[in-house]
Structure 1
């Protein structure tokens, strides 16, 4: 079959000039001439006075810069098209990998040329080097995310070398942006409440400071003059004072009343600071086109997924109908790329593809078919291929909860449904022994719902599994559960949200929810949820790719895995498949020359004469290459242990991502990018990078508890 890749061929149109237009050439010539005329020392530039935008009057900047411009010389496109693309380049051969690679310069030049159009377009906002978004106020597609954010549709573009040709990869993307609105409204949405003329609490001030750091605003009292927020002062407009020539010692509120005839409605709110300037919040409007680079909430993430999730055919149509236009790839003679002799084909490239047979999923005694075109299957009436055993179950529930449905009777019913579902899917547990299941209760309003003392209580007589049934009002307890469970005491935990588990509690119960929970539990405790039948694995191939992001302890890591495999299985692995993540294209050779020998050395030291077949696969996740089938048919399926649906990333790379996510949970107080408190000490003083690292080291301690070190606790 054929499929369309999200790439468009780049080539020189017939009759187009091979040099930029005359105006561009004259400007470049003047720059080079002036550079050559200067002595090789300094170039001085005195900036004129700049009038302040808030309370401090005029500012004068004068700074001396050293500038040196050198002409590199001409680039030949044949170096890219003939040498690099056709395989004549030696930059990946031993001894040449660190040498000059002219292809990188040419690719960068092409990217600069193709970026220039959307960069000059007032209707688009850029994010980084290769991402461009059409502003919602200029006809762009967006959706409200809540909390002062909106999801905006955009496009990623990057010039890529391919075999025999140069391609421009284009993909439709979505990112969170600050909404253009009055600042008071934005703050109200961020906190989820109406803003009154009262000062923000210190914790709120710190959260808001992280939310608005370096955000561009326009100033109402200066006819929408732009300003960048530095931080939020501890003082409000009544408390903050300064001395000026016109009025002497004066407060911010009085200054704006006298200078601009502006009366402040929220004078008790803290003021913004930008350099030495103080600006009242209510006079600011969030400027459009600003990407939010922090972490959005769980609900906002769900809204983002609903906005961004589309079928491949729709994405392909958006790219060709809207993406090319947004990026300025119309091939008009007035366009920047055309003036540089560059044209982008308006049709996606077509590449050959093959259809893999849809696999079947093997459970304990039966198989189930994967739905064609959907990559999912049904767990109903199936028992796990190998069920784990829960010898002792500890359930943690809460009292004095605000949810009226969260009652002792209902939590008891959920525990019963959990155990019934265990029996349905083949997880062994002693249903008749009352001591096999124990319930502990914690008062929601007591001691800040601290759970670590409970973990310490069971540190010697550990349960096989701790099931925590959380009411919605304390669903942020996740980090406080995982930290002592994984690092301090070594108890495997699973968290269930009451509002989801209790759906259908008055009838058959929500066994589908519990079955999904038990997919995680079974994998963590040594079970096997499902496998692929041997006949469905015949298409697997053996070969290897390259890589490089050096892992210094790779030899020790590989030896540890071999020892663990032999301990659990009783024999050595005959074939080893290694998935290597986090490798850039320029580092492929380094993997073969530096990392593969470490793996071979660990293999040799593990047992003399032991030489299993090694397949080293480099996993590239964060790329934007997509393939769109020309006709709907079967597709390949990558099943993951904790789901009944295929995933777009091979499971080992996905599992590694989950392990890293769990690590971020342990360091949540530092990793939270939405708050200044993440890098402030208890005294409110900004910490240095070393102090932050030392605090992270203390939180991490000795790492994962030894009792969980060899199970998939992060699933």
Structure 2
């Protein structure tokens, strides 16, 4: 059994770090032994030679083609020079276990031609020749890796290049055999057809990762979406869920919009066509660029003798038979070369590198989800597929991976924070058990009062009648009373047509409330039909941007058969939207957040980027911050910026706004003195930043935060923590007695040794109880810490903040402010007029002639700021489609006579 080492790690004084240097480990919590999907590997003994490969200069070739060229060079053209086999990343980097005999300048150019038919030459010419040049750029002494994992070496280019080399070594063998995607490769041993011309393949992720005193290979299961192999025309029909090829013929009514949608789906796909040569038929692999605007029988081209011929006529002559579907569109390959869909074959194993259609997301999640023990077995079985011991590449570089089972490591289970509910509760203070609790016999810490409200129903009255509406009103009112809210029966109920003006209808309902009761509504409940996404978007825009009136969207099916627990969950959302507080962490269990002498503001920031292939669409940014002493009430701001830019452009402005709101709330609502209203501490959680961007974040975002503080003439101590979710570390209990009901490690499992960073302060925390599949711990990297928090303090306060997510009675996977920031980014699409020209749907078409920067400017102009009435309310307290809603400004700043 591994023994946890609580002594301070020995890291040399001259070692520099990107973030905070680790000086100690955490100690608190119940000890627990777990498995982790890390497998120890030895470090090569001999020098590794690093070469730049200058690939063909005429165009950028796919990594798959580059790998094929390299294989031809190693095995057929220059095996005497390139032996023993080196490894190649498919782009620029080649690593060799020996110095290649390239001449005195360590540079040599080779001519390589493909014999496999991957590329073809113009008629009458021989195979195309590619010129590839090798150039020695560095010699890597693996000793730098040994020094680095022992805490004696700073992270520099030599260390990074050495880690890159080892990663290329372990990936080389599978990349020769299987379809691959950067760090993962996939096999057809386990696959599932999900329709729309797509199938799912199971695969394995692998990555070399250094930790203190050890080098590990992280192995995890992975999933890829593949194009269904077979005739291209069959794939296109599957995309439209049709079987009759005539639907692919423009003369039969194929809309141009649908053709463009199909074109985006198949653009870039490799197809095999058959061409006749003097020696017989030859199969050629080509890439689809676009689809024709007309069918093969309507497309013509000029002949050398001055005549003309249609594409259908040409292939009838070549094939000596007519096309089966001459009116169907063609695939354009090469430059202006058109081939009928029925003559194109899609080879197996092609990864779709585009966004999965929304209706297939559920299928992907179901296929990718595995229970912890099943996932662990699959990972260990992956070692057999990877077969490191049989890899010539691994042997050539002297790496040795002997483990056949996951590594046992020491972990701890942290105590959860105490949560405090309203004084009228039978149990005002509770302790969650494995990340969950319930609202039974509990009142909200600060419940709100709803005196007048409206119900707007967009379901047909035959499906949702007066009785159903009355049951909704009674059920919601009763649940509100149970949790301490006041919800008077002063309501108006109306049925509306979802094809009408949604904003006008909702506003009219509010006016009816005013006419009947002399007061405008505090809340409008909107009942949506199945498939009412457009209505939902319009409702959100109405609340987020247009008026700021609070709305709560509900699905009609859930309302009509709702239990009291459902309405209790709805009340969790409504209460915080209207300025209430559901629960707070007990100050005694989170002293770092509740120190009255050091008022603390907690912030969370995130950026989300457009889906792959979304030309010109912007990235959205968000900053969320607490405003109260209990760190339970949060406010948010969001913006739009350059597509795929990770650094937040407007962070300084956003942070100044957050600080203003924090100081104002503490001054006006909590009545703090001018000296105690500003924060003395800032705890800043940043989501979505890769390790390679840490220094950039420190140089720009930390500086922006400091400038915001300077603008307020304050200098709080800042702790800056990056929260990572996109990693492949997984925890597994060593016995079911240590697991929760889902088979996962219990909520609060924390690891900061054995798999942690060799020099920088970091930790992994699995803060939530499992539901489906294998839980993913969050990875916390401490980049800056003027508060000098201990590891125990950082771990416990992060765990506590995972328990204050307002819409749930479960702890969440990351601290609530970061979770909120992610939701705010996602909701930023609602800041565009739903009746305008901006379209975020999957079917939206982008004119390729329009420059991306021009489109981005249009998105900037169309972006609407949050309505003034809601800027300090938690309108972002829900994320799922069934429950997302819009909110109003809190009562301590709003003129309730305005609507």
- The two structures have a TM-score, normalised by structure 2, of 0.66
1:41-60 aligned at under 5 Å gives the runs 58=123
Using the TM superposition, give the Cα deviation of residue 593 of structure 1 relative to its aligned residue in structure 2, in angstroms: 5.6
* 1:21-48 alpha-carbon deviations (Å, 9 max, x no partner): 9874367789762795989xx9888999
2:544–2:831 CA contact under 8 A, matched in 1 = no
Using the TM superposition, give the Cα deviation of residue 90 of structure 1 relative to its aligned residue in structure 2, in angstroms: 4.3
Gaps of 5+ in 2: 1-31, 50-73, 86-95, 276-280, 515-519, 607-645, 740-745, 749-766, 768-801, 878-899
1:155–1:171 CA contact under 8 A, matched in 2 = yes
1:301-450 aligned at under 5 Å gives the runs 301-321=361-381, 323-329=382-388, 331-332=389-390, 334-346=391-403, 347-358=405-416, 361-364=419-422, 365=425, 366=427, 375-398=435-458, 405-407=463-465, 409-431=467-489, 433=490, 437-444=491-498, 446=499, 449-450=500-501
SS at match of 1:158: strand
Give the equivalent residue in structure 1 for 2:53: none
User: Distance between the aligned counterparts of 1:214 and 1:568, measured in 2?
Assistant: 54
Give the equivalent residue in structure 2 for 1:523: 576
User: Distance between the aligned counterparts of 1:510 and 1:292, measured in 2?
Assistant: 42
Give the direction of change, closer, same or farther, for the CA distance of 1:690–1:553 in structure 2 (3 Å limit): closer
1:5–1:625 CA contact under 8 A, matched in 2 = yes
Give the equivalent residue in structure 2 for 1:679: 846
SS at match of 2:348: coil
Give the direction of change, closer, same or farther, for the CA distance of 1:337–1:51 in structure 2 (3 Å limit): closer
User: Distance between the aligned counterparts of 2:579 and 2:129, measured in 1?
Assistant: 66
Do residues 147 (structure 1) and 196 (structure 2) align?
yes
Give the direction of change, closer, same or farther, for the CA distance of 1:67–1:13 in structure 2 (3 Å limit): closer
1:253-652 aligned at under 5 Å gives the runs 253-275=312-334, 276-321=336-381, 323-329=382-388, 331-332=389-390, 334-346=391-403, 347-358=405-416, 361-364=419-422, 365=425, 366=427, 375-398=435-458, 405-407=463-465, 409-431=467-489, 433=490, 437-444=491-498, 446=499, 449-454=500-505, 463-502=521-560, 504=561, 509-537=562-590, 550-551=647-648, 553-569=650-666, 570=670, 571=672, 572=677, 573=679, 575-589=681-695, 591-592=697-698, 595-596=701-702, 598-600=704-706, 602-603=708-709, 605-606=711-712, 612-631=716-735, 632-633=738-739, 634-636=746-748, 637=767, 638-639=802-803, 640-652=805-817
Give the direction of change, closer, same or farther, for the CA distance of 1:218–1:488 in structure 2 (3 Å limit): farther
SS at match of 2:585: coil
Number of paired residues? 666
User: Distance between the aligned counterparts of 2:152 and 2:43, measured in 1?
Assistant: 22
User: Distance between the aligned counterparts of 1:51 and 1:297, measured in 2?
Assistant: 30
Give the direction of change, closer, same or farther, for the CA distance of 1:410–1:586 in structure 2 (3 Å limit): same
Give the equivalent residue in structure 2 for 1:130: 183
Give the direction of change, closer, same or farther, for the CA distance of 1:282–1:557 in structure 2 (3 Å limit): same
2:37–2:731 CA contact under 8 A, matched in 1 = yes
User: Distance between the aligned counterparts of 2:145 and 2:648, measured in 1?
Assistant: 32
Whose helix proportion is higher, 1 or 2?
1
SS at match of 1:70: strand
Give the equivalent residue in structure 1 for 2:795: none
User: Distance between the aligned counterparts of 1:35 and 1:289, measured in 2?
Assistant: 43
SS at match of 1:253: helix
Do residues 238 (structure 1) and 297 (structure 2) align?
yes
User: Distance between the aligned counterparts of 1:535 and 1:131, measured in 2?
Assistant: 46
SS at match of 2:292: strand
Give the equivalent residue in structure 2 for 1:97: none
* 1:197-226 alpha-carbon deviations (Å, 9 max, x no partner): 143212211221222221223347877643
Give the root-mean-square deviation of aligned CA atoms: 4.1
Equivalent of 2:151 in 70, 77, 87:
87
SS at match of 1:72: strand
1:35–1:68 CA contact under 8 A, matched in 2 = no
The range that moved more, 206-215 or 471-480, is 471-480
User: Distance between the aligned counterparts of 1:238 and 1:395, measured in 2?
Assistant: 57
1:12–1:342 CA contact under 8 A, matched in 2 = yes
1:455–1:489 CA contact under 8 A, matched in 2 = no
Using the TM superposition, give the Cα deviation of residue 589 of structure 1 relative to its aligned residue in structure 2, in angstroms: 4.6
Give the equivalent residue in structure 1 for 2:172: 116
The range that moved more, 565-574 or 271-280, is 565-574
SS at match of 1:288: coil
1:117–1:328 CA contact under 8 A, matched in 2 = no
Using the TM superposition, give the Cα deviation of residue 67 of structure 1 relative to its aligned residue in structure 2, in angstroms: 6.4
- The two structures have a TM-score, normalised by structure 1, of 0.81
Gaps of 5+ in 1: 92-99
1:187–1:195 CA contact under 8 A, matched in 2 = no
Using the TM superposition, give the Cα deviation of residue 118 of structure 1 relative to its aligned residue in structure 2, in angstroms: 0.7
Using the TM superposition, give the Cα deviation of residue 103 of structure 1 relative to its aligned residue in structure 2, in angstroms: 0.7
Using the TM superposition, give the Cα deviation of residue 11 of structure 1 relative to its aligned residue in structure 2, in angstroms: 0.3
User: Distance between the aligned counterparts of 1:185 and 1:518, measured in 2?
Assistant: 49
